[in-house]
Amino acid sequence: MEPSPDVVVVGAGVVGAAVALAAARGGLRVVVLDRGPVAGGTTGAGEGNLLVSDKEPGPELDLALLSLRLWADVADHVASVTGAGFEFEPKGGLVVAADAAALPALHDLAGRQRRSGVDATEIGAEELVAHEPHLARDLAGGVLYPQDSQVQPMLAAARMLQAARRLGARIRTGEEVMALLRSGGHVVGVRTTAGDVAAGAVVNAAGTWSGEIAAMAGLELPILPRRGVILVTQPLPPLIRHKVYAAEYVADVASDDTGLESSAVVEGTRAGTVLVGASRERVGFRREMPLPVVRRLAAQAVRLFPVLADVSLLRSYAGFRPYCPDHLPVVGPDPRAPGLLHACGHEGAGVGLAAATGHLLAQVLAGGEPDLDLRPFRPERFAEVRV
Amino acid sequence: MSAFEFDGSPVPFAAGQTVGAALWAHGIRAWRTTRFGGRPRGLFCGIGVCFDCLVEIDGRPDRRACLEPAAEGLVVRTQVGAGRADQQI
C-alpha cells in the first residue's frame, strides 16, 4: 500500500496545479483530486492573463509581482521536465484611454504602481501606433506595462500537473470530495467518491466552489461567482502585439456594482485567434450566453481595433470568477481548522496569481516562512469583519 | 447560365446556389490553404459552423463559401492562410 500523501490538493485548475507542482518540487507527496477533468472549471474559461497593470498598489499587486517572476521559473521547469510549454509570453500590456479626461487617473495609477515595483511607461497619443499598429487613431494616450504576460491557462494547468507527476504526484480526476476527515479539530484527509484519503494537510483549491469545501469543515468562506464572457475570433495573422485594454477595465475589476460591466481586453494568441474579454456580472451560476454582452464586448473591441470590424467570431464562452467581498484571494492555513489550507478566491486573476500562490503555500506546507506576508489573504478575515 | 470568376476562370452556378456549392459542382474541392502547413481546404461542415471553407470574395478575405450566395460577376480567389497579408504586423 502506498504511504498516505503529505498533501491532498482539492481542485485541478491552474491554482491547484501550481500548488501541486510547488509542493512536489519541495519534496512532498501530493495527491490532486478533482470531481471533473483538469482545468474543467474557471481555468478552462479564462484568458490566461498575468497582469500587474490592472492592480492598485497593495497586497494583491505584491502577490502578482512575485507571481510574474515565478511564472518564468515554472515555465522553464515545466519545459525542461516535459519538453513542452504552455505558451508563456511576456508580451506586455498596453492600457489605453479613449478620452483625455481618463488620462490623469491612468497616469496617477501608473505612478503609484511604479513606486511598488511595476515597470510602467506613459505613451503619448501619437506614439501609440508605433507600439500597436492597428489601434484606433483617435485615442488619447496610454501606459505600457512590459511585465504583463500571457499563458494558455488549460495548457499551463495540464503541463504543471504533468511535471508534478514526474515528481511522484498522483492526479485523480473524476473523483469528488464528499467530506473532510477530522480528528479532534484537525483536518486529516478527505472522503471521496472512491474512498478515504488520509493526508498530512488538505489544500482547498476548488476555485469558485471553494466555499463548499470550507463548509465541510463547518467554516464559512464567502466566495461567490462573477460571470465573465470571452469572445473568440476566427484565426488571424498577427495583428495585435500586446494585451490591450481600455483604462475603464481597472475600475471594473475593483467595482462592487452588481450590474453588467464590460471593457474590452484584446489579445492575440499563438493559435491566431484573438480573444476579447472581459465582462463582469453577478448572476450566480447561470450558464446561458447573454447576447447583449457579446454585442457590447465586440463593439468595445472594434472601438480599440477598427480592423476587427469585419472579422467573424468563432465562439464565445463564459466562466465564473471566484470573488471575495474585499476582492482579495484566500491564501494560507485556516487556524479554525488546522490541517486545512486555502488557495482560492482569486477572482479574474487566478491564472496570474497561481504561481505565487503555489510557491507560498508550498513554503507553509514545508513548515517554513512564506516569502510574502499572507495576513491580508487569511481565511478568517471575513468573520472578523462581521464581529 | 450565370457565372462568377474563380482564380481567373468562369464557374457556372444555378440560381440559389452558394459559392461553395457551385465550386463543388464544377469539380473544384479546395480554395484555401492552411496557415501553417499550406494544406488544401474546402467545404467541411457546409453549414457555416467550421470556418474551413474560407475564401476571398471581391477582395474581402474570410468569406464562408458555404454561406455566400453565388452571384454574377463575383471575383473569387483562393485564400492563402489567414489572408489579410496586407494587415499583418
The H or E element spanning position A187 is strand A186-192
CB A364 within 8 A of CB A24: no
Dihedral, A368, A167, A76, A50 alpha carbons, nearest 10 = -60
Nearest neighbour of B88 by CB, restricted to A239, A312, A314: A239
Q: Could you tell me which CATH class the domain A7-82+153-223+326-386 is placed in?
A: alpha beta
Q: What is this structure's pTM?
A: 0.91
Alpha-carbon gap, residue B63 to B31, rounded angstroms: 11
Residue type, A261: E
**pLDDT over 70, % of chain B:** 100
Task: For residue range A48-103, list pLDDT tens digits in order.
Answer: 999 999 999 999 999 999 999 999 999 999 999 999 999 999 999 999 999 899 99
Q: Does the distance separating the beta carbons of B82 and A272 come in below 8 Å?
A: yes
Q: Does the distance separating the beta carbons of A310 and B88 come in below 8 Å?
A: no
CB distance from B26 to chain A under 8 Å?
no
Nearest neighbour of B51 by CB, restricted to A234, A237, A240: A234
For residue A233, the number of C-alpha atoms closer than 13 Å in the C-beta half-sphere is: 30
Its ipTM equals 0.81
Residue type, A110: A
- Which one of 3.30.9.10, 3.80.30.20, 3.20.20.450, 3.40.190.10 gives the CATH number of domain A93-146+224-323? 3.30.9.10
In chain B, what residues touch A272 (CB-CB under 8 Å)? Answer: 35, 82
CB B84 within 8 A of CB A311: no
What is the distance between the terminal CA atoms of chain A, rounded to a whole angstrom? 47
Nearest to B18 by CA among B78, B54, B68: B68
Q: What is the DSSP letter of B18?
A: B
> DSSP 3-state helix, strand, coil percentages of chain A (rounded to 5)?
35, 25, 35
Residue type, A111: G
Alpha-carbon gap, residue A179 to A182, rounded angstroms: 9
How would you write the pLDDT of chain A (387 residues) with one tens digit per residue?
678 999 999 999 999 999 999 999 999 999 999 999 999 999 999 999 999 999 999 999 999 999 999 999 999 999 999 999 999 999 999 999 998 999 999 999 999 999 999 999 999 999 999 999 999 999 999 999 999 999 999 999 999 999 999 999 999 999 999 999 999 989 999 999 999 999 999 999 999 999 999 999 999 999 999 999 999 999 999 999 999 999 877 666 666 666 778 888 999 998 899 999 988 889 999 988 889 999 999 999 999 999 999 999 989 999 999 999 999 999 999 999 999 999 999 999 999 999 999 999 999 999 999 999 999 999 999 986 544
Q: Decide whether A7-82+153-223+326-386 matches A93-146+224-323 in CATH topology.
A: no
Q: Which three cell numbers stand for residue A309?
A: 470590424
Each domain of chain A, given as residue ranges in start order, spans 7-82+153-223+326-386, 93-146+224-323
Beta-strand relationship, A93-97 and A243-246: parallel
In chain A, what residues touch B82 (CB-CB under 8 Å)? Answer: 235-237, 272
CB distance from A309 to chain B under 8 Å?
no
Interface residue of B58, B84, B86 to substitute, partner A, most A CBs within 10 Å: B84
For residue A47, the number of C-alpha atoms closer than 13 Å in the C-beta half-sphere is: 30
Nearest to A322 by CA among A344, A305, A302, A343: A344
Alpha-carbon gap, residue A199 to A4, rounded angstroms: 6
Domains and CATH numbers, chain B: 2-80 (3.10.20.440)
What angle is formed at CA B32 by the lines to CA B26 and CA B38, rounded to 5 degrees? 130
Q: Which three cell numbers stand for residue A283?
A: 448572476
Q: How far is B5 from chain A (nearest CA, A)?
A: 23
Nearest to A216 by CA among A184, A177, A172: A177
Interface residue of A132, A135, A236 to substitute, partner B, most B CBs within 10 Å: A236
CB A164 within 8 A of CB A205: no
Alpha-carbon gap, residue B75 to A380, rounded angstroms: 67
A308: nearest CA in chain B?
A: B87
Alpha-carbon gap, residue A36 to A26, rounded angstroms: 26
CB distance from A236 to chain B under 8 Å?
yes
